[in-house]
Amino acid sequence: MTVSRILREVVAAVLRYSGIPLVVRNTYARRRVTMILYHDPSPAGLRRHLDYLKKRYTTITLDQLVQAIYEKDWSSIPPKALVITIDDGHRGNYALASLFEEYDVKPTIYLTTAVVGSRRHFWWRCGCGEVQQLKRASNGARLRHLEEAHGYTPRAEYPESERQALSWDEIARLGDTVDCQSHSRFHPVLTTCTDEECWTEILGSKQDLDTRFERGCLHFSYPNGNYGDREIAFLKKAGFLSARSLDIGWNDVHTDPYKLRITGVTDDASVNVLAVQLSGLSAYVRYTLGRWLAGRQKTARIGAHSLGEEPQPASADGG
């Protein structure tokens, strides 16, 4: 374990046993819904998290939360309610099915619909080292750079041994243990897309899932957390009922269903770090620091020359 990780663990332990997470959970978060986000947690790591969470929260489904918001009726939401979400549809998610059954939780997996069911790769896992910079470039510039510098194209297929995403067969076998919803088709940062690109990503992802699942697709997760008025308008036009952002906070009866908030959890967090993350403290610090750095990068025009244009900042509404 590195010095920085040891220090992080010590700080997290001090904050956890200071009682701050307990106070937040039993006061501010008690009558609100906590939402957390994973990507590709290991079964062992998720088991440790679920052991902690199930003793302190009551898990509910995304549908329950969204229905309560639309009906303006919070009576069906238990105290200290928790919604678990997972982004992208990574291959490793399949190994978590037995844990979902054992702990009686039904997470929502937001699928990148043109990557799952294929041997395509997620663009940020193609070996490029400029991921954060590319997120600020226009969608066209990002794709051109990935192809020219790394030989990556979104529709390229790789050997089965290198498959990164869930197959449709694995998704079918997950069955009712999960709720599958949309995370766009290819996971671009929507606010860097043209109108046509953005609409295609949103509507296309819904159509992909509507043809796969009897109940259809009703919920969306913004890739990278970035969104604005245009994205919300497109979601409503396509027929989505909600969207999860990366905005920091909790959800209540007054939450905009297209701006659902999270407290933030990292896949490999220790239980001490998890407790602090659930309090919202670490996510708020990261969010504030990220916004400050984004402003600095915009001012300095960092990396603009390498992509041939001005990098675009994250949406003011998104994470």
Backbone angles phi, psi at 33, to 5 degrees: -105, 125
Burial of 20 (0-12, 13-18, 19+ CB in 10 A): middle
Supply the pLDDT for residue 280.
Answer: 82
Supply the pLDDT for residue 53.
Answer: 97
Structural domain boundaries enclosing 274: 3-307
Supply the pLDDT for residue 4.
Answer: 85
pLDDT in tens, 5-22: 899 899 899 999 999 899
Residue type, 193: C
Supply the pLDDT for residue 319.
Answer: 31
- Residue 256 domain flag: yes
pLDDT in tens, 195-246: 999 999 999 999 999 999 988 899 999 999 999 999 999 999 999 999 999 9
Distance CA 136, CA 298 (A): 9
Contact 274, 306 (CB under 8 A): no
* Per-residue tokens: 99: 């844990």
Supply the pLDDT for residue 144.
Answer: 97
Q: Residue 247 sits in a domain of what CATH number?
A: 3.20.20.370
pLDDT mean across residues, the chain: 90
Sign of CA dihedral 197, 201, 203, 208: positive
- Residue 319 domain flag: no
Name the band, by pLDDT with cuts 50, 70 and 90, for residue 308: very low
Contact 18, 281 (CB under 8 A): no
pLDDT in tens, 151-208: 999 999 999 999 999 999 999 999 999 999 999 999 999 999 999 999 999 999 999 9
Q: Say if residue 122's pLDDT is above 80.
A: yes
Return the higher-pLDDT residue of 68 and 307: 68
- Residue 46 domain flag: yes
The pTM (predicted TM-score) of the whole model is 0.89
Supply the pLDDT for residue 300.
Answer: 39
**Rounded to whole angstroms, what are the CA distances from 122 to 4, 26, 41, 138, 186?**
29, 39, 17, 17, 8
Name the band, by pLDDT with cuts 50, 70 and 90, for residue 293: low
Name the band, by pLDDT with cuts 50, 70 and 90, for residue 289: low
Burial of 82 (0-12, 13-18, 19+ CB in 10 A): buried
* Per-residue tokens: 177: 């243990």
Q: What is the CA radius of gyration of the chain?
A: 19
Owner of token pair 């039993």: 26
Supply the pLDDT for residue 156.
Answer: 97
For the chain, what is the largest distance between any 2 Cα atoms, rounded to a whole number of angstroms?
55
pLDDT in tens, 40-72: 999 999 999 999 999 999 999 999 999 999 999
Span of 20-34, 224-238, 251-265, 283-297 with lowest mean pLDDT: 283-297
- Residue 315 domain flag: no
Total structural domains within the chain: 1
Name the band, by pLDDT with cuts 50, 70 and 90, for residue 287: low
Distance CA 261, CA 251 (A): 6
- Residue 318 domain flag: no
What percent of the chain has a predicted confidence (pLDDT) above 90? 82
